[in-house]
Amino acid sequence: MMTQGTLHRKTIGIFGGGQLARLMIPVAARYGVPCHVFDRDASAPAFQLTPHHHVASFEDAAAIDHFARACDVITCEFENIPITALQRAAQTTRVIPDPRHFAMAQDRLQEKTMAQNVGLSVPLFADVTTQNDVTAFFHQNGPAILKRRHGGYDGKGQKVVHTAKDLHDDAILLLLQAPCLIEALVPFTHEISTIAARGGSDTALLPIGDNHHHQGILQKTIVPSALSVSVLDQARRQTLDVMNHLHYQGILTIEWFVTAQGDVLFNECAPRVHNTGHWSLEGCSLNQFDMAIRVLLGMPLPEPVLVSPRVEMLNLLGDAILKRDVYERSPRTAVYDYGKPVFRTGRKMGHVTFF
């Protein structure tokens, strides 16, 4: 006997058309789900992968309403979106994670204060407005790092103060033109990140890798981390503490510093998928995009497990993208080119996973 019926599939909206949206779209397609993308830049990389383009400013209320009406659920691939855009969309459809989490993650002072309220260790920090504040912090606490509270990424909007001489660097005055905070420089041995998703009462955490940065930019992630089980458990537990405290739904990344003594200090968080989780596309039974999408669709979240004993993700920064064919010769690699037309030093152009 023939049967037939109609399947209703949801539509996902993504604010931001960068590489994270570009990587999310094919994973959503595996679930049969189309993605609409909203970006102010018509040449954003994710537009190459979907016919559903919404090109407008994040202040354009009519365009946001139109976008929200087209989508069953909306998420965001970068945290520095005007909160008003998320709030506007939330009047029409569901926005996950909640816009208030974006407001917290947009301000380094708010996120560090949140971490303190949860009871986590954080680097010593202070809100600063003048050069005298910076000088006083340095003399009291030693080497420090001055950071813009809003809008910095990949080490931009930061200045390290190693010695008293650095206090007179023009970069300090330049940074202080906008709200800043200062942190003690942490003598960490490892940087790790936890990537967790929660949908209803289901929670999934990716296995943890070691992240290697150079000049504030992620170079590579190696999984599994070389750190002890107890340190990694501490990072996992603390991630769940943050989620519980915030009544969090959706995907959340937290970056941590780990010291030689095994202390795990909160650095920053992002209410989205993350560069440090790209390895999971090949290296894990459930990748970070699956995790984010499953929450958006109300699907179960089984535990993600490693499918290879060692996975390494290498960012292709700037002109390193020109060497991608070298990696393509190797059988257990996956090369990603984000389709950006112009490369410049430090720009994330693609990545390679060795698995």
Q: Choose which of 109, 167, 185, 299 interacts with ligand AMP (CB under 6 A).
A: 185
User: What is the per-residue binding string for ligand AMP in 40-79, x denoting contact by CB under 6 A?
Assistant: ----------------------------------------
In the numeric block, the tokens 């909203």 are attached to: 38
Which range in 10-18, 29-37, 52-60, 182-190 contacts ligand AMP by CB under 6 A? 182-190
Angle at which helices 83-90 and 61-70 pack, to 10 degrees? 50
Q: And the tokens for 283?
A: 């290296």
Q: Are 15 and 75 in contact (CB under 8 A)?
A: yes
DSSP letter assigned to residue 72: S
Which of 60, 72, 69 lies closest to 34, judged by CA? 72
Q: x/- binding map, residues 217-256, to ligand AMP, per CB under 6 A?
A: --------------------------------------x-
Residue 203 CB, nearest approach to ligand AMP (Å): 24
Q: Which stretch binds ligand AMP (CB under 6 A): 9-17, 39-47, 55-63, 183-191?
A: 183-191
User: What phi, psi does 134 have (nearest 5°)?
Assistant: -65, -45
Distance CA 24, CA 30 (A): 10
> Closest Cα to residue 20, out of 81, 62, 70, 67?
81
- C-alpha–C-alpha distance, residues 48 and 93, integer Å: 25
DSSP state of 39: E
Neighbours of 339 (CB within 10 A): 16
When asked if residue 104 is in the footprint of ligand AMP (CB under 6 A), the reply is no
Tokens read off for 59: 């202040």
Least Å distance, CB 153 to ligand AMP, is 6
User: Per-residue x/- mask for ligand AMP, residues 135 to 174, rule CB under 6 A?
Assistant: ----------x------x--x-------------------
Which residue is it, tokens 């202390």?
263
Among 50, 203, 225, 267, binds ligand AMP (CB under 6 A): 267
Site map (CB under 6 A) of ligand AMP, residues 292-331, x = contact: ----------------------------------------
Where along the sequence are the contacts to ligand AMP (CB under 6 A)? 123, 145, 152, 155, 183, 185-186, 191, 213, 216, 255, 267-268
